[in-house]
Amino acid sequence: MTKSYTEESMMLESQNNTNWTDECHSSQDEHDTEKKNGAHETMHKDIEDDEDALNRLEDDEEEEEEEEEEDGDDTKPKRRGPKKKKMTKARLQRFKLRRMKANARERNRMHGLNDALESLRKVVPCYSKTQKLSKIETLRLAKNYIWALSEILRSGKSPDLMSFVQALCKGLSQPTTNLVAGCLQLNPRTFLPEQSQEIPPHMQTASASFSAHPYSYQTPGLPSPPYGTMDSSHIFHVKPHAYGSALEPFFETALTDCTSPSFDGPLSPPLSVNGNFSFKHEPSSEFEKNYAFTMHYQAAGLAGPQTHASLYASSTQRCDIPMENIMSYDGHSHHERVMNAQLNAIFHDS
């Protein structure tokens, strides 16, 4: 875009600021309404209005083109150099037309992006219509989820539940962590020794967790549905305490530097080429060695109540979740149920 465009836009901004702002506000208001109603009708109307406006502008433009020819001004001295185009009405309107088209495209593009993000929200472990994850949290959770599942597939071993959860929630904000736990209808205290003792040992591994009844972990004081349901995927979202645990994890390296929200370390899935994951059983690089699973939940004496107890005993920022504030879990898609079934198979086979 040339500098003249910038000048034009500045002019336009000052001349039409009110109108443009009004358009923006009305559009945003309508978008809010649309969100509340859960319909796209308003958006379509918005776009139709834009198209009407564009058509009107195009009609006006044709008229202005004719006016422009008659507007030849011989009184001003001619300037040398490249002829600087006059900012005629027609040019202004053409600019406005371009801008309106570009704005409409940009709106649609962002709506498409948001739709895709909404789809992502539905397939990551925590999904609630009533309290959506923010965009950034959705992306972080999705990234952690992909990485964690990839590690499971690559290693072919059941992870320690707590470590898995910690890896999953790495870098997430505390509110998001709470929300995730809320979606699970789980209170982190469930993993305290006194509660854990009631849990059969075999239930304290991830694989057992996935095969357990959804409410097996429910603390006596916890409310019943409709606060939420728990299928296997929800187990992934328990986050008793995400940051800096003393727990030696299944996802050991995933827990490093968890205190930094901006931490964006090498937490990618092992390999993804053209959408197909390729897992190597032997770390072939220093990176893989660093990020390979270093232990299993039974090998390091981490499984069981003591592990969880030590985890929480060392926690200074305990994640106590008032269950009355927990959002309801609104259900997962068929796709996710299929995915959960596959996960169950993975955990049971390993």
Residue 232 φ/ψ region, left for φ over 0, alpha for ψ in the -120 to 50 degree band, beta for the rest:
alpha
**How long, in residues, is the chain?**
350
CB burial readout 287-319, b (16+ within 10 A) else e? eeeebbbebbbeebebbbbebbbebbeebeeeb
Closest CA to 143 of 257, 265, 238: 265
Distance in Å, CB of 159 to DNA, minimum: 28
Nearest CB to DNA, comparing residues 120 and 271:
120
Distance in Å, CB of 13 to DNA, minimum: 6
Q: What is the Cβ-side half-sphere exposure of residue 284, based on CA atoms within 13 angstroms?
A: 7
DSSP strands (E only) in 211-306: 272-273, 276-277
Distance in Å, CB of 20 to DNA, minimum: 4
Distance in Å, CB of 254 to DNA, minimum: 21
Distance in Å, CB of 19 to DNA, minimum: 9
Distance in Å, CB of 7 to DNA, minimum: 8
Nearest CB to DNA, comparing residues 102 and 299:
102
Q: E strand or H helix at 222, and its extent?
A: none
Nearest CB to DNA, comparing residues 116 and 299:
116
Instruction: Report whether 336 contacts 204 (CB < 8 A).
Output: no
Give Cα 207 to chain centroid, integer Å.
27
Cα–Cα distance, 78 to 337 (Å, whole number): 74
Nearest CB to DNA, comparing residues 114 and 290:
114
User: Which chain residues interact with DNA by CB under 7 A?
Assistant: 1-3, 5-6, 8-10, 12-13, 20-21, 23-25, 27-32, 98-99, 101-107, 109-111, 114, 132, 134-137, 173
Nearest CB to DNA, comparing residues 110 and 313:
110
Nearest CB to DNA, comparing residues 89 and 99:
99
